[in-house]
Chains A and B, each alone.
Chain A
Amino acid sequence: MKKLECPICGGEVEIPDDALPGELFEHEECGSQLELEVDDNGKYRLKEAEEISEDWGE
C-alpha cells in the first residue's frame, strides 16, 4: 500500500500498489472523493475528484 496525502484535509490515505491514474478513492476520515494522478516523473498524488458532469453516465 502507498500512503499519500489527502489534498482536502491533509490526512493520510492508503492506496493499493496497483492503483491506476484516474482511480477514485474515498478518504474515510474526511469523506472527500479523491482521484489518483501520476505526474510525468511517475510520482503519485491525490487530487479532488472531478465533479459529476452533465454528460456522465452509461
Chain B
Amino acid sequence: MRIGIVYDIVRWEERALINAVKKLGYDLVLIHILKKPLWLTEPNGIETLDIVFQRCVSFYRALTSTAVFEEHGVLVVNNYNVIRDCEDKLYTTLKLVKNNIPVPRTAISFTRESCLEVAEKIGFPLVIKPIYGSWGRMISRALDKDSMLEILEFREYMQSPYLKIHYLQEYIDKPNRDIRAFYFWGEVPAAIYRISSSWKTNTALGASVQEARLNEELVELIVKAGEVMGGGLLGIDILESRDGKYYVSEVNAIPEFRNTVRVTGKDLASMMIEKTVQHFKK
C-alpha cells in the first residue's frame, strides 16, 4: 500500500503520522504542497497512491489541494466536503441541527440591528465568532449590549467580508473546561478535558489538558456528530452545561492531537492510519 501525506508545514502531528506510516510498513510519499505547482490539466504524479492524508495547516491550501487530488481520482482523507463543512461554522451548525444533534442556540446576522434582535432572544453573555477560523482566534464574548456593539464595530472595520457575517451563539456556562474527543471512522479512541480559567478553552491559548473518560451518552453523541459531518478523522469539541447537558460546539477536520497523546499515551497517529486503511479495505 502506498500512502501519501500532504502538508505545508511539519508540526508534531505530521511528524507522528510520517513515523506511523513507516512503522506500519507502508510506502510513504510526502507531498510538500509549497514546493511544486498542482496541475489541473495534467497528472501530478501522485495518482497511483492508495490513500492521501490531508494535513495542511492552512485551510485554503488543504481545501484546494484536496479538490485537485480528488478530481484526479486520488482518495483523500479527510475528503473535500468534510474539510469544507467542518471549517465553516455556519454549515457545521446547520448540519448538526438538521440531524438533531444538540448545539448552542445560534443565528447569523449581517447588521448591528439584527444582532440586537438575536441578543434580545438569546440574552447575554453572547458569543460572537467569525464563521471561519480556528484556535479560538477572533472569538469574543459580549457581556452586555455595549460590549456587543463594540465588538461589532471592530469587525465592521475589518477588510474580510466573512468577518462581517456575525455568528452569534448562546454562551454555555461550562465548568472551566470543555471536551475534545476524537472520532476515527465510527470510533472514539480518545478524549481530553481542556481546562482553563478563561472562558476560551483552546489549547492553542494555553488551556491545560487531562484525559477524559466519556460516558455512553457522550460517545453516542460524538459518533453521531462525526457521521453527520461525513466521517473520517475528526476532532469534535463538546461543551457541558452546569446542568449536565452536552452541546457539540465545533468539528475539526485536520485535528491536532499532540496534547491528547501526551496525556493519554495513545498512539493516535498509528490509529489514524490503521483505521483508515481498514475502512477502505472493507
Interface residues in chain A, defined as those with a beta carbon under 8 Å from any beta carbon in chain B: 20-24, 35, 49-50, 53-58
Write out the residue numbers on chain B whose beta carbons fall within 8 Å of the beta carbon of A55. Answer: 58-60, 132-133
Are the C-beta atoms of A56 and B32 separated by less than 8 Å? Answer: no
Chain A residue at minimum C-beta to C-beta distance from B59 = A55
Of B4-12, B164-172, B222-230, B272-280, the one touching chain A: B4-12
Interface residues in chain B, defined as those with a beta carbon under 8 Å from any beta carbon in chain A: 7-11, 15, 18, 30, 32, 34-35, 57-60, 132-135, 137, 160, 204, 235, 252-256
Write out the residue numbers on chain B whose beta carbons fall within 8 Å of the beta carbon of A24. Answer: 9-11
Write out the residue numbers on chain A whose beta carbons fall within 8 Å of the beta carbon of B34. Answer: 22
Contact A54/B135 with A22-B7, A23-B9 known, Cβ cut-off 8 Å: no
Q: How far is the CB of A10 from chain B (nearest CB, A)?
A: 23
Cβ contacts A to B, 29 pairs, < 8 Å: A20-B10, A20-B15, A20-B30, A20-B32, A21-B32, A21-B35, A22-B8, A22-B10, A22-B34, A23-B10, A24-B9, A24-B10, A24-B11, A49-B9, A50-B9, A53-B58, A54-B133, A54-B137, A55-B132, A56-B57, A56-B134, A57-B135, A57-B137, A57-B204, A58-B235, A58-B252, A58-B253, A58-B255, A58-B256
Pick the most buried of A22, A54, A58: most chain B CB atoms within 10 A of its CB. A58
Pick the most buried of B57, B60, B137, B256: most chain A CB atoms within 10 A of its CB. B57
Are the C-beta atoms of A58 and B254 separated by less than 8 Å? Answer: yes
Q: How far is the CB of B91 from chain A (nearest CB, A)?
A: 16
